[in-house]
Structure 1
Amino acid sequence: MHDKRTSSAVISSEHLVLGRAARELRARRACSQEELGHRSGLHRNYVGAIERGEINATFRTLLALSRGLGVPLSELVVLYEARRAEPHGRPHR
């Protein structure tokens, strides 16, 4: 039987939280995925996959993403840590 699952499955909760942190930083800058992709040298679809937690991003990719966001990588990591500490990795509303 053919497995109909796609590569769009979330890798882990950590990847999902990292993606949410990246999306939050991008939203704070009122930047589209396409614009962030251009700034970081990543395809917009790849940026979206990171934000959805579908990509196990390499260190080099995270550096490119942080440069595209105009923040040090540590800011992305700090936000990841803050979001991970929240219940279910979701920000409080």
Structure 2
Amino acid sequence: MDARAIVGWNLRRLRVAQGLSQERLALAAGIDRAYVGRVERGSENVTITTLEAIARALSAPVAALLVEPEPGAEQPRPLRAGRRAKAG
């Protein structure tokens, strides 16, 4: 797996685990939502500065975005589509 795919894999894994949409993550990191999607698909070369912004928005160390998944690990699932119910 190449570095871009590893970053994308971990980005989706961490984002979904926290229940964040691509849009919310992008807003928190100060980057474009479409860019987040391209990073998750492994089609974007990410700078260290952008990795730091994403990691900060996820409250995770930058190194967590660079960990190679175990062989045979299941692809991280996307969030369920639609809006979340309001707490109340």
**TM-score grouping bracket, smaller chain normalisation:** 0.7 to 0.9
Please report how far the alpha carbon of residue 51 of structure 1 lies from its aligned counterpart in structure 2 after TM superposition. 0.3
Corresponding pairs, count:
75
1:51 pairs with 2:40: yes
Poorly superposed stretches of 4+, deviation over 3 Å: none
Pick one of 66, 71, 81 that aligns with 1:86: 71
Instruction: Specify every segment of 5 or more residues in structure 1 that has no aligned partner in the other structure, as ranges.
Output: 1-11
CA distance in 2, matches of 1:25, 1:45: 18
Closer, same or farther in 2 for the Cα pair 1:27/1:55, shift >3 Å?
A: same
Question: Identity rate of aligned residues, in percent?
Answer: 35
In the superposition, the TM-score normalised over structure 1's length comes to 0.72
Match of 2:19 among 18, 30, 44: 30
Gaps of 5+ in 2: 76-88
Point out which structure has higher relative CO (alpha carbons under 8 A, 6+ apart). Answer: 2
* Larger helix proportion of the pair: 1
Radius of gyration: which is bigger? Answer: 1
| Residue 37 of structure 1: how far off its partner (Å) | 0.1
1:18 partnered with 2:7: yes
